[in-house]
C-alpha cells in the first residue's frame, strides 16, 4: 500500500508513477532511447546495444541457449568409440538442460519405444542403432534389426553394422545367433519394429523363445521394442508385457493419458494438454523421466562416412539428470 496525500491524483502523462517510501515519491520513468514512437525507441535500443557490445572488452556473459529446431545425431556422437565397450550412446538432447542425452543400455536392459502413430518411434530406433554402431568398437557389438512394420523404412537395410531381417521365419535363426553370443562380453542389441508386426509375422514358438530371452535378462543382451501406445497398453502377457513391466523406454510424439500409462509416468495437466510435437517426448526409467528431443539419423552419404570410420580411443559420456514427477 502506498501512502499519498488526500485528494492526490497522479498525472496521466505516460511514464509517470509512484515510488514507495517515506514519503511516497512521484517519478517519471526514463525512456531507454530517444524517439517519437515506440518503434523508434526500439530501434534506438538496438543501436545502443550494438555499440555497447562493440566497445566491451571484458568477459562476456553466457549465451542464452534455446532448443534447436533440428538436432543432428552427427553433432552428438563422441569423437571416437568407447574403449571400455560400455553400451552407452547419445540419442538426442535433454530439453530442460540442452545437453546430449546418453542412454546406458544396462539401465534397461530392455526398452520400449511407444507413442501415437507417426510420432517418431521408428526414427528414434534408427537413430539409436546408428549411434550404438558409431559409439562401440566393432568387435564388442552385434546389432540386429527385425523390421516388420508396414511403415518400415527401406533405408534401414543400409544401416552400418546392422543385420537386418523383415520376415518372421528369419527371426528364429537370428535368435539362435543371439543365444550363442549372450553372456560372452559382446553387446547384442535386438531392435524390433514393431510389436503388432512381430505378432503377425512370427510363429508361437519363436515368440515364446523371444519372451524367454527377455525374461532371462542375460548379460549383454538388450531388446528395443517399438509399439503403439494402444498395442502395448493392451499387452497382458508375452514379450510386450514383459518389457513394459520395467517402465523403461521412450514416449515420443504423444502426451495423452493412455500414452503416459504405458511407461507409468505422470505429467502436469497443463503440459500434457499442449501436446508433444513429432520427435519430442520423454525418456522414462522406472517412472522418472527426462524431456527429450530425438536426434535425426544421418542421411545416406553420412552413413557411408560413418561406415568407413576406424574405431579407436574412447569417447566421453555425459548423462542428463533424471527428474522425479515433472522435474
Note whether residue 262 is domain-resident: yes
- Judged by phi (left if over 0) then psi (alpha if -120 to 50, else beta), residue 207 lies in alpha
Q: Which set of grid coordinates corresponds to residue 38?
A: 515506440
- Of 144, 327, 124, 114, nearest to 230 by C-alpha is 114
- Domain assignment present for residue 23? The answer is no
Q: Please check whether residue 7 lies inside any domain of the structure.
A: no
Other C-beta atoms closer than 10 Å to the C-beta of 129 total 24
| Complete DSSP assignment for 89-154 | EEEEEETTT-SEEEEEGGG-SEEEEE-STTSSHHHHHHHHHHHHHHHS-GGGEEEEEEE--TT--G
Examine residue 316 and state whether it is found in any structural domain, yes or no. Answer: no
Per-residue pLDDT of the chain in tens (327 residues, 90 and over written 9): 677 777 888 888 888 988 888 888 899 998 888 888 888 989 999 999 999 989 999 888 777 788 999 999 999 998 888 888 899 999 999 999 999 999 999 999 999 999 998 899 999 999 999 999 999 998 899 999 999 865 544 445 567 788 999 888 899 999 999 999 988 989 999 999 989 999 999 999 999 999 999 999 999 999 999 999 989 988 888 999 999 999 999 999 998 888 999 999 988 888 888 888 999 999 999 889 999 999 999 887 777 766 665 444 333 333 333 443 333
| 210 belongs to a structural domain | yes
- Print the domain residue range for 183: 73-307
Residue 15 lies in a domain: no
Total tally of structural domains belonging to the chain = 1
Asked if residue 8 belongs to a domain, the reply is no
CATH assignment at residue 202: 3.40.50.300
Task: List the grid coordinates of 30.
Answer: 526514463
121 located within any domain: yes
DSSP β-ladder status, 141-147 and 187-193: parallel
Name the pTM for this structure.
0.77
Strand order in the sheet with 248-252: 100-104, 88-94, 288-294, 280-285, 248-252, 110-114, 221-226, 187-193, 141-147, 162-165
Amino acid at each position: 500500500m502506498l501512502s499519498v496525500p488526500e485528494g492526490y491524483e497522479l498525472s496521466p502523462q505516460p511514464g509517470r508513477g509512484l515510488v514507495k517510501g517515506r514519503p511516497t515519491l512521484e517519478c517519471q520513468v526514463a525512456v531507454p532511447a530517444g524517439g517519437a514512437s515506440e518503434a523508434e525507441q526500439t530501434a534506438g535500443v538496438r543501436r545502443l546495444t550494438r555499440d555497447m557490445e562493440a566497445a566491451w572488452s571484458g568477459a562476456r556473459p553466457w549465451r542464452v541457449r534455446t532448443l534447436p529446431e533440428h538436432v543432428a545425431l552427427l553433432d552428438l556422437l563422441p569423437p571416437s568409440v568407447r574403449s571400455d565397450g560400455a553400451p552407452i550412446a547419445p540419442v538426442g538432447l535433454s530439453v530442460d538442460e540442452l545437453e546430449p542425452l546418453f542412454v546406458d543400455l544396462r539401465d534397461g536392459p530392455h526398452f520400449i519405444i511407444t507413442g501415437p502413430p507417426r510420432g517418431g518411434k521408428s526414427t528414434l530406433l534408427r537413430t539409436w542403432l546408428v549411434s550404438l554402431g558409431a559409439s562401440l568398437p566393432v568387435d564388442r557389438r552385434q546389432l540386429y534389426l527385425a523390421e516388420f512394420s508396414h511403415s518400415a523404412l527401406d533405408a534401414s537395410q543400409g544401416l552400418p553394422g546392422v543385420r537386418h531381417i523383415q520376415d518372421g521365419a528369419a527371426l528364429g535363426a537370428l535368435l539362435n545367433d543371439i543365444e550363442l553370443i549372450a553372456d560372452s562380453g559382446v553387446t547384442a542389441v535386438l531392435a524390433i519394429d514393431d510389436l503388432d508386426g512381430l505378432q503377425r509375422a512370427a510363429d508361437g514358438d519363436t515368440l515364446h523363445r523371444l519372451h524367454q530371452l527377455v525374461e532371462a535378462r542375460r548379460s549383454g543382451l538388450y531388446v528395443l521394442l517399438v509399439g503403439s501406445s494402444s498395442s502395448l497398453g493392451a499387452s497382458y502377457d508375452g514379450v510386450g508385457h514383459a518389457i513394459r513391466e520395467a517402465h523403461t523406454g521412450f514416449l515420443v510424439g504423444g502426451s495423452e493419458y493412455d500414452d503416459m500409462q504405458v511407461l507409468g509416468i505422470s505429467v502436469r495437466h497443463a503440459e500434457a494438454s499442449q501436446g508433444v510435437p513429432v520427435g519430442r517426448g520423454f525418456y522414462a526409467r522406472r517412472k522418472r523421466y527426462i524431456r527429450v528431443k530425438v536426434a535425426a539419423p544421418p542421411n545416406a552419404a553420412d552413413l557411408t562416412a560413418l561406415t568407413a570410420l576406424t574405431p579407436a580411443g574412447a569417447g566421453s559420456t555425459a548423462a542428463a539428470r533424471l527428474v522425479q514427477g515433472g522435474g
